[in-house]
Amino acid sequence: MDLVEVAKRNSVIHNRHPWELARFEVVNDLLKNVIKNEEGYTVLDIGCGDIFFLLKLCELYPKSDFYAIDIAFTDEIIAQLTKLAEGKNISLFKTMDEAAAHLKKPADLVLLLDVVEHIEDDHGFLTSLKNNKAITTATHIIITVPAFQKLFCSHDHFLGHYRRYTNATLLKTIEKAGLTKLKLGYFFFCLIPPRILQVIKEKISKPDLTVHTTGLVEWNKGKGMTDLIKNIMLLDFRISKFIRSITGLSLVGLSNYILCKKSV
């Protein structure tokens, strides 16, 4: 979860939103032929937020080394999250350079999960990342971002997003930065209709953007409802994946993903 959301709650998050749970399953599926559970396999999670995603990955890949990086980290947040990650192979850093100085070897995998949209100069950021000594032509980089600029709403404003993407604009951005696509697509088509309705509603009602939250941090439904919504989103992803496998067509979704590497 984004640290902006965590600060809004000002307490430990116990009830995870089904979107967070479903996104973890989607990204893990996209990485199933990439990530490895072996000594020395190195994963950098840049813009990691409250390290929920890395904690879940640690359960599946306990032998790998994980580095959590977020410029929003304070000494207090690092102390809290270090305690939360006790016994896990997770190290926390405020910057990429700090993390790179502690790496035993170049990164095998970099996670940029709903991060790039927060950066005004996305091309410059990705170019700088590509040129970091921790990144080689063998390093896999997976990026997820929100899709379709016309769906920009109070959710994006609250989180400090500069833009939303399409497959075409995301591909153009990474190629301009010197990265090469391995996989590209959308996920969560089922979330598009409610987002369209939200955008229409906000055009009429003009919400107060100073008090808005995304709702992730406020999720308080029981396990049954959480699992139901999560499973609907995962079914959506599997159907889209199946359709793509037999037709080559990619259904649209509320999020984009791209798996890439540094160009040779």
DSSP assignment of 204-262 equals HH---TTS---SSTT----HHHHHHHHHHHHHHHHHHHHHHHHH------SEEEEEEEE
**pLDDT score, position 9:** 43
Structure tokens, 63: 């032998």
Q: What integer pLDDT is reported at residue 254 of this predicted model? A: 97
- How much is the pLDDT for 10? 46
The CA distance from 110 to 223, in Å, is 31
Residues 118-132 as b/e (b if ≥16 CB within 10 A, e otherwise) read bbeebbebbeebbeb
Q: Angle CA(238)–CA(240)–CA(241) in degrees, nearest 5?
A: 60
Number of domains in the chain: 1
Write down the pLDDT at residue 165: 98
Q: Please count the CA atoms within 13 angstroms of the CA of 69 that sit on its side-chain side.
A: 21
d(CA 236, CA 196): 18
Q: What angle do CA 3, 144, 1 make, to 5 degrees?
A: 20
Cα distances from 82 to residues 39, 78, 88, 203, in angstroms, run 21, 6, 9, 42
- Using DSSP, how many helices (H) and how many strands (E) does the chain show? 10, 7
Residue 7 pLDDT? 47
For 158, the domain range is 3-262
Q: Which residues of the chain have pLDDT under 70?
A: 1-14, 209-218
Say how far apart CA 4 and CA 185 lie, in whole Å: 27
Assigned token pair, 80: 């809290």
**Tokens standing for residue 28:** 């893990």
CATH number at residue 132: 3.40.50.150
The Cα 75–Cα 88 span in angstroms is: 19
Amino acid 118 reads: H
Residues 207 and 192: their CA atoms lie apart, in Å, by 20
Distance CA 196, CA 175 (A): 30
pTM score of the predicted model: 0.91
Q: How high is the mean pLDDT of the chain?
A: 91
Residue whose entry in the numeric block shows the structure tokens 């790496």: 103
- The first and second tokens of residue 240, run together, are 């889209």
In sequence order, the β-bridge partners of residue 42 are 65
